[in-house]
Amino acid sequence: MLLSYRSLSVAAVFSLSSLLSAADNPFIGRWALTIPGGGAGWLGVESKDGALTSSVLWGGGSVVPTTSTKLDGDTLIVTREQKNKEGKLNATETITAKADGDVLKLTTAKKNAAGKDMGQPQEFTGKRIPAVPAAPDLSKVKFGEPIQLLNGKDLTGWRLLKEGVDNGWSVVDGILQNRVVKAKDKHFGNLRTDAEFEDFNLKTEVRTQEGSNSGIYLRGIYEVQVMESFGQPLDSHHMGALYSRITPSVAAEKPIGEWQTLDITLVDRHLTVILNGKTIIDNAPVLGCTGGAMSSDEFKPGPIYLQGDHTNVDYRNMVLRPVVK
């Protein structure tokens, strides 16, 4: 079919308008969210070939792509679908946002599969995350005196992240162990240090149990995954990964029941992970919080916290050296 000159002109103007609007789009970038209820979230908005795309982290779980992203005047509209394990639609969530400089004001509303409202719309906020700086020269970074986080005797210096949950953590024969009982009336907790830290190097040993799924949260924001994944393909959810964000470059896990070493360095929002002597993440930029983060604010000190709500796991010899500025 031949297009008229007028049609071509309209198409050209529309294309130019789309490119200009993308360049001037105040929503493009990464946003730290405080989602309804106060949890940590994240939104990333990009422009590719004149079209908007986005991904989102909502409290727990992984960073996932959204279903659609579009502009309506000065409003960003993001839609994401929630499906069950069989792929059947459970709900559709629509997030709308307005930008005021580096601040977002957002609203979320859900409809079930039949298109009926699920509760009232909820308001929440977001803040633009500054660009990640250049990768630091780790050979020039100075570290302070080592801090022994585990005393091999008891839980001194540690406490449950939340009160009112079951405590599966104890020290046995010098080993910090978590033991979880699967029951409907049991809800086991995560364990955090009393002390809070900024940038640092952290060395520890970990021993997975059958089906282990734990994690080491750096500053309570970024989870380095601890999982029984020996012999499995590379994945951003496996041992040593930055959960759902950075996939290890090589599989370096040991079989279940063997002690494994983790050497983790966090400097200027860049992460290095050495697992069992092999560098699996090499000074890579970290683009935002991970699921289960205490906060989406990447610029304040926070604790080391160990995920204990899932399964059994053991830790020992945990030593932290803070960056000296």
Query: What does the pLDDT look like over 120-162, one tens digit per residue?
Result: 999 999 999 999 999 999 999 999 999 999 999 999 999 999 9
Neighbour tally for 290: CB within 10 Å: 28
What residue has token string 């579009």? 70
pLDDT given for residue 15 in this prediction: 35
Do 66 and 144 lie in a common domain? no
Do 105 and 235 lie in a common domain? no
Which of 249, 282, 247, 246 is CA-nearest to residue 263? Answer: 282
Rounded to 5°, the CA angle 299-264-277 comes to: 165
Do 188 and 269 lie in a common domain? yes
Compare 186 and 265 and report the one with higher pLDDT. 265
Please tell me the pTM assigned to this model: 0.91
pLDDT given for residue 23 in this prediction: 56
> Which range of residues forms the domain containing residue 265?
138-322
Q: How large a percentage of the chain has pLDDT more than 90? A: 86
Do 282 and 171 lie in a common domain? yes
Do 194 and 297 lie in a common domain? yes
* Residue pLDDT, tens place only, 24-80: 799 999 999 999 999 999 999 999 898 999 999 999 999 999 999 999 999 999 999
Do 189 and 121 lie in a common domain? no
**Strand positions, DSSP E, 89-148:** 89-100, 103-112, 122-128, 147-148
38, with CB counted inside 10 A (0-12, 13-18, 19+), is exposed
Do 192 and 314 lie in a common domain? yes
**2-16, 56-70, 126-140, 267-281: the lowest-pLDDT one:** 2-16
Residue type, 72: D
